[in-house]
Amino acid sequence: MRAVLIESEGAAPRLVEDADESLLTGDVELDVLTSSMNYKDALALAGKGIARSHPLIPGIDLVGRVTDSADERFSAGDLVVLTGDGIGESRHGGFATRARVRPDALVRLPVDLSPERAAAIGTAGFTAMLSVLRLEDAGLTPDDGDVLVTGASGGAGSIAVALLAGRGHRVLASTGRVEENGEYLRELGAAEVLDRRELSEEPGRPLQSQRFAAAIDAVGSTTLANVLAQTVRGGTVAAFGLAQGPDLPTTVLPFILRGVTLAGVDSVECPLPLRERAWDALSRELDVDLLDAMTTSIGLSEVIDHAPSVLAGQVRGRTVVEVAQ
């Protein structure tokens, strides 16, 4: 088994060509076909608190082919996708050629998706779809007004822009690199591209001019505080990230005077029926040409060196990891 391995807390990750497969535990055995690089993976590789057990194979996404299963729901040959559920954090993940996983969060690969495109979607796209569903389940319609996406040039942000635009919403995309990413975000469907400094530099008043019918936030901290302050009465903000920080320098005023809802989106412990709903919607709705355009590929041997670029915000869209390379 070939794998990226973090052997102990504080140890630098390394690529192991003959990793011991007895490390793996779980009722479903897989040949891993492909994985993807996420911000959380880069944090794990940098030793920034994501890895909660050691030794650990990182990689919070995997797409694989079942080779054996102790669970009757799966059989040898099934193509499956797994995101979250503790893999790459407390359980061995997708940066390896083999895996053993729990069946309870395992989803059969939708027939319309190739393994490579499913990996390109990964946790990022899955989280984006959960966020879109959260907004629309709260009653958001395209007629309600502009929907903001922060961190829009990242993996989840990019897919959120494409999904919202595909559902007919007018999307405002916030990014720190307007000149570099403006055209890219417009091609994904953004109607306007905003400089993130409008929202991120310092907290404004807890109630500001009402600007956004809803929002999907990947950033947290000051940005999220200002987004809440500019959300219209009765609007919903779906939050899943903390790229700027986990703090929230605001007050209760947006919630009690405007009835704004802050809806957390958890993609890790998501129940299976919601997982299946999200993957079904992704397979039907996400424009694969747009997905391909935002996706680059690296080999397993490149994962460790790629992580600093992800943490520095220098990587746009999605990165697929070809584990055989």
Domain 123-264 belongs to what topology?
Answer: Rossmann fold (3.40.50)
Residue 291 confidence class, pLDDT cut points 50, 70, 90: very high
Q: How confident is the model at residue 55 (pLDDT cuts 50, 70, 90)?
A: very high
Instruction: Identify which of 125, 133, 128 has the alpha carbon closest to the alpha carbon of residue 149.
Output: 128
Residue 127 scores a pLDDT above 90: yes
> Are 218 and 196 within 8 A, CB to CB?
no
pLDDT for the residue numbered 49: 85
Computed from CA positions of residues 93, 96, 101, 105, in that sequence, does the dihedral angle turn out positive or negative?
Answer: positive
CA 43: distance to chain centroid? 14
Q: Is the pLDDT of residue 59 over 90?
A: yes
Hey, where are the domains in the chain? 3-109+294-322, 123-264
- In angstroms, how far apart are the furthest CA atoms of the chain? 60
Please name the fold of domain 3-109+294-322: Quinone Oxidoreductase; Chain A, domain 1 (3.90.180)
Report the DSSP beta bridge partners of residue 217. 239
Q: What is the band of 135 on the pLDDT scale with cuts at 50, 70, 90? A: very high
**What DSSP string runs through 271-282?**
-HHHHHHHHHHH
Report whether pLDDT(321) > 90.
yes
Which amino acid is residue 308, in one-letter code? P
Beta strand residue intervals within 106-187, DSSP E: 107-108, 147-149, 171-175
CA–CA dist 138, 125 (Å, integer): 20
> pLDDT category, 139, cuts 50, 70, 90?
very high
Mean pLDDT (the chain) is 95
Half-sphere exposure of 58 (CA within 13 A, CB side): 32
Q: Is 203's pLDDT higher than 90?
A: no
Q: Dihedral, CA atoms, 208, 214, 215, 221, nearest 10 degrees? A: 40
Q: Which residues contact 143 (CB under 8 A, 6 or more apart)?
A: none
Spatial separation of the C-alpha atoms in residues 296 and 290, rounded to whole Å: 12
C-alpha distances in Å from residue 218, one per residue of 21, 32, 109, 115, 223: 36, 28, 26, 26, 9
The pLDDT value given to residue 10: 87
pLDDT at position 202 over 90: no
pLDDT at 141 over 90: yes
The pLDDT tens digits of the residues spanning 177-187 come to: 899 999 999 99
pTM, two decimals, is 0.93
Structure confidence at residue 210 (pLDDT): 98
